[in-house]
Structure 1
């Protein structure tokens, strides 16, 4: 036992992590990028990086947290580069009037327009259902910063979506 973590937990095999984490990692990446194909690509890239570095990653207390951090970084890189494919797909999606947007589409579209940190904490909170402390650890900021970002994101989303302020009442 090291740091309260059993040795068998530190030596989880990659296949088990892949099976357990792939779907939530893809959902996180899609929420961060706004595009299913790009999100799936980022999730698989993060898994590939974990596989390549498995000797180190498997020693971590939370290998899934490391993979999520890679996805967040990759999503931020895609956004900063202004990935042409993502922008073209978004233009096509918004110009297709034959498929009216659902309220969920409107919500995630509004989330994608939030500042980067707010977008990230909203995705981790509502897609991954992570606690504030876990989000703070993943994005490497204080819990107070996470709470402030969530508050500001909720306030902006409420204003943009014309709803009363959104609050899940559980900033754990």
Structure 2
């Protein structure tokens, strides 16, 4: 049976998995004790890393919000991205103090759906780099797994946005 053709999504997935497979040997196995509560804060050595990821998520979410406000026609397309950012922030919310969550100035989005979508694409690429770096640098195996999941989600949304034509409408 012939193999499936290589797609952009498959390539992005393989690129993300490769560094994680190499580091998987260093990740602590999940706890078998079902009565143990998950830690709400990262180990001290991961605190700065988590704060950086949260800041990147907040910035990315601000770009998505600005894009949908400036180009309401993109709302349906960008809603899954915004929903993912909200879920990721919720997961990490107990790991950083509220005072450490930045409140970025609203980004300026250039007029036109193609430019707004381009700003979101660039923002998602920056977020992906930050989350992937966090996966590799995390001291906690649990945190590395959470960040790996976030990286996969971000990569998937980025690939879906990259597959759109310049006008932002699915073909």
Task: Give the alignment's TM-score, normalised by structure 1.
Answer: 0.29
Greater RCO (CA < 8 Å, at least 6 residues apart): 2
Task: Give the alignment's TM-score, normalised by structure 2.
Answer: 0.30
